[in-house]
Structure 1
């Protein structure tokens, strides 16, 4: 009996899930992503067929592992690598402006993971390679722009101590930003694979091979993955990792961006999946400007028994906050202040206690959100803010970073409660609309499409008033002014005392995504 092809939808992880890395333990696959200024750090997912993924937690979920309290947006946790060896899982990464390069370990990928084991060398994007002779190597990016290259050295995996001096092993293809290096041993040959060209239109994945882990490596003359010469709905392809499944089939996970309008995306860099074929002379091939990576994919088979065809992931969801813990899909902005949030203080509600910091500040903010996963989307909530004082606020926010965010919120001014729509574009904040209200409970909503975000409120949850609309472009990573942005939009709930802690808690009954 001939089996039908399996179809699936790219991206396999929609929304801000960049820099994917993957490992396999038996029939199980595990995938991690960069998380930058958001906490907990490094979301981790599990799958048995490479198509359907379930988030099982975060690798860095306590302050002893990750302190982001003063970290700028798009700093923090950069590209991660996950590996499994002799029953132990390893995740290695960089805390930019923090402790630098380190790794953590676990016997259960759902955690707990160890405290950081620091390593001495490398810029960003470290990777681990376990050779057959028992030696363990760190391969990492070093340098900047056209001087960017890969270094490598041996470590004691128990302690992180360097057992050799770092050696430059790879200069890439002559383009800028040779980064995200991974070393593999396949069919007796060592392969080094990196991104090149920077995470934009010229992004590509390149590869070399040699007979030693230190090279010299023969460069394959063309990228093995890119859409830089195509007019295509998926762009910026690169930063890949390879995996072989139990059937012996090879696959690649990598980042890509779905551009809209004049060439931007509020969703940021997402995780894609494609099969890998091997040339007759032993090179892995993914998609060099051929358009093989599509939004809808069809492959002969996937691992796992009974894997069904996967259409568009169902991303509509309502969280009634009726569980003891938040779903791992939620993320905080930096480390949340102690006692700044609770699911137990008012059962069935999420309680936020506003801190002194607000959405324009580089500091712990009472903010918890979800990654935007579709361009056309709608988020709503019911907020009750009893005992609100002048200058305090709480509401619903669509956030890129401190320089770009839109929010609709309830505040109090001169003893009068007010619903306010406010926008921050390129670091400039302005009030769009102020509406006096005679209640401490309001429904808030944000809608998005390809061109704009619309801020709305309602007193009864049925009749909605549109307060303001603002361009979607201004929340895209492409619209940065001074500091590059590596994240996509996160939509969430927040509270702030704007200079002092709020006297009363802000309570949210539910959070609805459509």
Structure 2
């Protein structure tokens, strides 16, 4: 975490802390809009608005209806990959990939707040990471990432382009390979975006994979179909040469934006490891200034790396980021920062059945019901039959290395299958649950830990899991009103419970939280923290009520 003093003339990175990867940005007049990947979480694709590029207000989700987003079978690192947002002639376009259902599609809206259209599926659009480019002659182009013909190694991919008719949402003409990356035998070239600056078309991509060796590279051509020449200064952004001890890692997957004043910036993903090379926060969104030199972009001039602080852009002030404070569940709908795991088949939560409370139905689906297959690469199906359940879980992103979470719950378990409480989740197989339950006819508070060991055969594409769930500690506790609290100081997590806020008792302290990092769990997501209720396979008509939920980040 950056601890430098920040004046109002400077801003602090990341601009979107926590699991907000693959940022894409567009400008409409003096307003900016940005979106991120959402993977297996619903609603999908959070969308933000700003006037100063630093302070962002979430205005909704692009995919907020069940008919728009089918996440059946999606492991946590499946679902929605790398969306791109563009604005053209009064219409917003978002193009993205659903790894589990249908592939690449476009949705549209005349208002960034929505409603957004149902998906238009792009027939023949192979691969992932689609983007749109609108040329000066009125033509529109689809760019994407696909496996090279006759691939020679894992990650042997290429960037391709084809004209698209946005009236029919169909590709037209022939597809053309544009570039295979800057490095010899470049791996996992992806995330293409095209721009027209002066007399050149610029193709911005990422390569090296989305972890430590991630990077941003660029090529240009005077013809949109090529030949594209790489920048002799490539990569224009990477942190791989800084070592794993550097406080910002895996910088990549950028999108460029020009302000109304003619200044340039890049939004890109990166992570902040802590407690070693562990990234519980996932991949976050950073803002970096850009200048142009010899008709090539220079990212973070003078240092070439993402800094924690930069001067504020010369733009009108935007709405300040909202502080992380209590949600009293007094609105009729969930706030935008809450998500479910996969698309819920039924409404398992209510904010109206008991006004002022979040009510979760105690349902058969367990927090461990589905075991996510490990990702083998960007074109893996990311699907396992049976992964269709959405447990009674409402979660939000962890956004700070140090944080405190508290909730007030009313719950009366009826049998040994029923549980409810706070869950800290990296995926189906790596999580902590501070839960109220019955064991041996006694009501207890317990801390559950789940990890898994996998046996992966990359050649044959098979995987087997040994799922290990353990009860770390339990204490007898009988009260229908329960306060639950989690305090994290770096990778040390402490869990508390009590009958009131001023009578909280420590259940377990200094528990190692590194299982909540994708470096242990695998995949592409960050940690979610939230509230859950389950009957773990048994029918139930019970409910758990949550009066409020506090999340406070700490320095």
TM-score, normalised by the number of residues in structure 1: 0.94
Q: 2:503 aligns with which of 454, 463, 476?
A: 463
Distance 2:300 2:105 in 1: 32
SS of structure 2 residue aligned to 1:462: helix
Deviations 1:208-247 (A, max 9, x none): 0001111110101221111221253111111000111111
**Matches of 1:289 and 1:390, distance apart in 2:** 61
Counterpart residue number, 1:302: 314
Over 6 Å off, 4+ runs: none
Answer with 216-225 or 454-463: which moved more. Answer: 454-463
1:376-455 to 2 correspondences below 5 Å: 376-386=402-412, 388-426=414-452, 427-455=467-495
CA drift at 1:5: 8.5
Instruction: Tell me the CA shift for residue 288 of structure 1.
Output: 8.5
Corresponding position of 2:349: 341
CA separation of 1:89/1:424 partners in 2, compared to 1, >3 Å: closer, same or farther? same
Change (3 A) 1:61 1:389: same
Residue-by-residue CA offset, 1:294-343 (whole Å, 9 max, x unaligned): 112225x4322x569x8xx6643100111111110111111124230000
Shift of 1:434: 1.9
Secondary structure at the aligned position of 2:417 is classed as: coil
Counterpart position of 1:330: 338
- From 276, 290, 293, the equivalent of 2:303 is 290
Shift of residue 44, structure 1, vs aligned partner: 0.2
- Structure-to-structure mapping, 1:259-274, within 5 angstroms: 259-274=273-288
Q: Report what 1:185 is aligned to.
A: 196
- CA gap of 1:38–1:146, structure 2 versus 1, over 3 A, is closer
Distance (Å, rounded) in 1 between the aligned partners of 2:170 and 2:111: 24
Q: 1:277 aligns with which of 252, 268, 291?
A: 291
- Correspondence for 2:545 among 500, 507, 510: 507
Give, in whole Å, the separation in 2 of the partners of 1:158 and 1:76: 26
In structure 1, what is the Cα distance between the partners aligned to 2:249 and 2:413?
49
C-alpha distance in 2 between matches for 1:260 and 1:458: 30
Structure 2 unaligned regions, length at least 5: 1-6, 149-153, 371-388, 453-466
Which stretch has the larger CA shift, 13-22 or 133-142?
133-142
Distance 1:112 1:499 in 2: 36
> What's the CA shift string for 1:86-144, capped at 9, x where partnerless?
00000000000211000100011111100000112121110011111111111001128
For residue 226 of structure 1, what is the aligned residue in structure 2?
Answer: 238
Aligned length: 502
Pair 1:154 & 2:194 matched: no
TM-score by length of 2: 0.87
CA change 1:314–1:449 in 2 (3 A) is: farther
1:440 and 1:141 map into 2 onto residues whose CA distance is 54
Q: Per-residue displacement from partner, 1:63-108 (whole Å, max 9, x unpaired)?
A: 1100113211100001010000000000000000211000100011
Give the Cα–Cα distance (whole angstroms) in 2 for the partners of residues 19 and 72 of structure 1: 18
Q: Is the 8 A contact 1:227 1:289 kept in 2?
A: no
Unaligned runs of 5+ in 1: none
